[in-house]
């Protein structure tokens, strides 16, 4: 099949995600991607995933994109990407990496045609926000431990850090009949599923997601489906996952990691660095060397934050040394909470680390060099101190290059 030329050169609203992806990620409701600002009230708690992919709202979004119309729906849903393109010249929309042949699965009105093609990527979280870590920049919606920590720290920090809903998204715990319907629907539409993606929380602590994997194995269709995990790798052991690695077509793991050793312990508290690295390298060895061909891939995903960016190059260099970085490193950007954004670092530090950050990512260098707000930096220091007091950690000893700017 000939690969279609990228139509985004002439169509400045077109995005690949609504044509192959549906997710509810850590939120309760469905959207085409994690950057979308959807007002949908549909999610695993009330609507099968593929049904929503074929719904009127998705059809309208695809139709407007195919027509090149920056409609009110797209301006609302895709506002973050449009903003990033205006400010930085880049966005998730432009970096979706889609095979544009996917457009052949839809008519001119954005409706999916009857096809046996495998093209749908599902990123699901119907399993709650269960997580064994409490990363300091993480929203409590994404981590049960983070949620509990902020409850202990009080309403001040809950308000500042935002997105604090405490919604239990574990469908199986709430309604076993609905959960069975959800799993059965995925099996019924498995002929169109190319990839199943699981994020968190931490997928390994969300045991109900194994129901989906087991059902697809029993259906005989698992060998045609790829699995994608975003995991902190603290619980992702080869002994636990070998069966699923062998039964599915491919497994891709994005290892969420923000520093080396003690720095990662503080940033992604309370990570055991040595145990985590063992898990990573065990899985990597099995993926790459057990058979004559690769059966999976594991790579690092880094989220530079006000603290994590200080040694970003050191972290990337370590990942490269262990073959855990792709040609274009997967490096995320923090929108919330604002107090953790790299731009609020003191200007002197920005200039000290600027060359190192730029050598890793021009985009993140430009983001860091945007105008700082001393108020947010001061608030961040108070937050780090409060977090240390609650956790029994010491950020000043772990990040001494920043501590000297707080007196």
d(CA 5, CA 340) in angstroms, rounded, equals 39
Q: Would residue 356 count as lying in a domain?
A: no
Could you tell me if residue 397 is inside a domain? no
- Over residues 208-235, the pLDDT tens digits come to 889 999 999 999 999 999 999 999 999 9
- If one counts the domains in the chain, the total is 2
Q: In the prediction, which pLDDT does 200 show?
A: 74
Whole-number pLDDT of residue 2: 67
Tokens of 39: 């007002």
Are 150 and 135 in contact by the 8 Å Cβ rule? The answer is no
Q: What is the pLDDT of residue 150?
A: 87
Mark whether 192 and 285 lie in a shared domain: yes
The answer to whether residues 311 and 349 touch, using CB atoms and an 8 Å cutoff, is: no
Neighbour count for residue 48 (Cβ, 10 Å): 19
Task: Give the model's pLDDT for residue 255.
Answer: 96
Backbone dihedral region for residue 358 (phi beyond 0: left; psi -120 to 50: alpha; all else: beta): alpha
- 72 and 192 share a domain? no
Is 403 part of a structural domain of the chain? no
How far apart (Å, rounded) are the C-alpha atoms in residues 369 and 27?
30
Give the β-pairing of 250-256 and 296-302: parallel
Question: What is the Cα–Cα distance from 94 to 101, expressed in whole angstroms?
Answer: 16
Do 105 and 132 lie in one domain? The reply is no
Residues 6+ apart with CB under 8 A from 384: 136, 307, 395
pLDDT of residue 335: 82
Its pTM stands at 0.84
CB count in 10 Å sphere of residue 327: 4
C-alpha span between 366 and 389 (Å, rounded): 33
Structure confidence at residue 319 (pLDDT): 95
The pLDDT of residue 169: 63
Last residue of a domain, one of 99, 118, 137: 118
Supply the range of the domain harboring residue 326.
125-336
**Is omega for the bond preceding 278 within 30 degrees of 0, making it cis?**
no
Please report the pLDDT score of residue 407 as a whole number.
66
Rounded distance between C-alpha atoms, residue 11 and residue 8, angstroms: 5
Q: Which of 83, 99, 118 is the last residue of a domain?
A: 118
Residue ranges in the chain whose pLDDT is less than 70: 1-3, 25-28, 40-41, 126, 162-169, 327-329, 407
CA distance 283 to 236: 9
Domain end among 336, 358, 375: 336
State residue 290's pLDDT score.
Answer: 84
273 and 135 co-located in one domain: yes
Which residues, including other chains, have CB under 8 Å from residue 390's CB and lie 6 or more apart? Answer: 149, 152, 153
């Amino acid at each position: 099949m000939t690969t279609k030329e990228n139509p985004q050169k002439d169509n400045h609203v077109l995005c690949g995600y609504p044509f192959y992806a549906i997710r509810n990620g850590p939120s309760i409701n469905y959207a085409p991607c994690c950057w979308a600002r959807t007002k949908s009230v549909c999610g695993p708690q009330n609507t099968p995933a593929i049904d929503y992919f074929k719904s009127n709202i998705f059809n309208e979004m695809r139709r407007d994109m195919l027509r090149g119309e920056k409609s009110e729906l797209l301006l609302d849903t895709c506002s973050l990407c449009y903003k990033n393109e205006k400010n930085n010249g880049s966005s998730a929309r432009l970096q979706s990496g889609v095979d544009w042949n996917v457009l052949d699965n839809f008519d001119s009105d954005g409706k999916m045609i009857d096809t046996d093609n495998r093209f749908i990527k599902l990123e699901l979280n119907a399993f709650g926000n269960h997580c064994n870590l409490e990363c300091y920049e993480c929203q409590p919606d994404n981590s049960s431990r983070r949620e509990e920590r902020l409850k202990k720290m009080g309403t001040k920090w809950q308000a500042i850090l935002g997105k604090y809903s405490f919604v239990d998204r574990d469908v199986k715990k709430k309604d076993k009949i609905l959960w069975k319907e959800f799993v059965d629907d995925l099996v019924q539409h498995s002929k169109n599923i190319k990839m199943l993606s699981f994020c968190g929380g931490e997928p390994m602590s969300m045991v109900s997601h194994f129901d989906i994997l087991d059902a697809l194995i029993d259906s005989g269709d698992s060998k045609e489906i790829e699995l994608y995990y975003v995991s902190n790798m603290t619980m992702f052991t080869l002994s636990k996952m070998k069966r699923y690695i062998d039964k599915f077509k491919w497994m891709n793991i994005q290892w969420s990691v923000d520093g080396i050793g003690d720095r990662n312990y503080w940033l992604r508290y309370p990570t055991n660095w040595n145990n985590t690295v063992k898990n990573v390298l065990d899985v990597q060895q099995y993926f790459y060397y057990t058979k004559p061909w690769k059966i999976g891939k594991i790579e690092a995903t880094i989220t530079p934050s006000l603290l994590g960016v200080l040694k970003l190059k050191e972290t990337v260099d370590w990942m490269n040394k262990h073959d855990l970085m792709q040609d274009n490193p997967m490096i995320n950007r923090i929108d919330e909470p604002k107090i953790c954004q790299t731009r609020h670092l003191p200007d002197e530090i920005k200039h000290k680390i600027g060359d190192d950050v730029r050598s890793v990512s021009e985009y993140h260098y430009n983001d860091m060099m945007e105008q700082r707000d001393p108020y947010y930096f001061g608030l961040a220091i108070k937050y780090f101190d409060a977090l240390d007091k609650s956790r029994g950690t010491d950020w000043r000893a772990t990040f001494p290059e920043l501590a000297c700017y707080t007196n």
